[in-house]
Amino acid sequence: MLRLYTHPSCLQHDPGPGHPERPARLRAVLDALDRDRFSAIDRIEAPQATREQLRRVHDARHVERILACTPAAGESSRLDEDTVMSAGSAEAALRAAGAVVAAVDAVLGGTTRRAFCAVRPPGHHATGDQAMGFCLFNNIAVAAAHALAAHGLQRVAIADFDVHHGNGTQAIFEREPRVLFASSHQSPLYPGSGREDECGVGNIVNATLPPGAGSHEFREIWDGVLLPRLDAFRPQLVLVSAGFDAHRSDPLADIRLSHEDYAWITERLLAVAGRHAGGRLISTMEGGYALDALASSASAHVRALME
């Protein structure tokens, strides 16, 4: 049975009117997953991540800076041009990171083989010492580090199909050979990283898509470049940064995917997990800013996870 981790606190992170990373994103996904065909999902309330878990990938000063930033109700604090904290942001960030940690424990403990974390704020732009790109803590990196430290895994793969490059995830693990980071993303586009010659210690695999690319190009780089590298790595656990902003309707990028493409890549990643990781796969929300497209894409992703 698929487990879904979420928490009401993730709706209380409010960057303010007009901000793309708004609470309505998570509401759209949860509403879509509240239909009859998703009734078999085991829904779990996400715990808070601990400071120890966060400090495996983040500088202690960064952790305390985020947790100490508690604007008064109705006010906000801007960390950079795009990244804003409200009164509920620190709690939401703790629950978002805690969701993926709990999912790792459940999957590696044999309670379930697959999990989806419907959380926000997203995480893959957050570096070890900096919040950026709507991200406070790097949720997927916290999960990978927990799998290494608490469960003794030696090969953890992170697959990132968000339209923006997961610069934070890459920076955190680019010298860690036990983690393979495989990313497809539009280039040029924010944050400007993710060139194909950025290889870390041989554990970073970037595949770029030009503006206007669609399903054919997306599937070609996964089938031809990224999935073979994932297979060669033989991961003991597959983690997924599930960004749905490469959809043709998304306002922040120029890739032309549909919800069927998200079902396709999910099935391919499940096949990798089936061959090497006993089927163990955990996915967590990243981007996706057109609400209808986000809901349909996340639904397609979760349906594939349930099969």
Active site residues: 125
What backbone phi and psi angles, to 5 degrees, belong to 137?
A: -115, 150
Contacts of 302 (CB under 8 A, 6+ apart): 2, 4, 33, 38, 41, 116
Which H or E run includes 23?
Answer: helix 23-32
Strands 84-85 and 77-78: antiparallel
Cis? peptide before 121, omega within 30° of 0: yes
User: What residue type is assigned to position 46 of the chain?
Assistant: A
Whether 294 contacts 244, CB under 8 Å: yes
Which H or E run includes 84?
Answer: strand 84-85
User: What residue type is assigned to position 3 of the chain?
Assistant: R
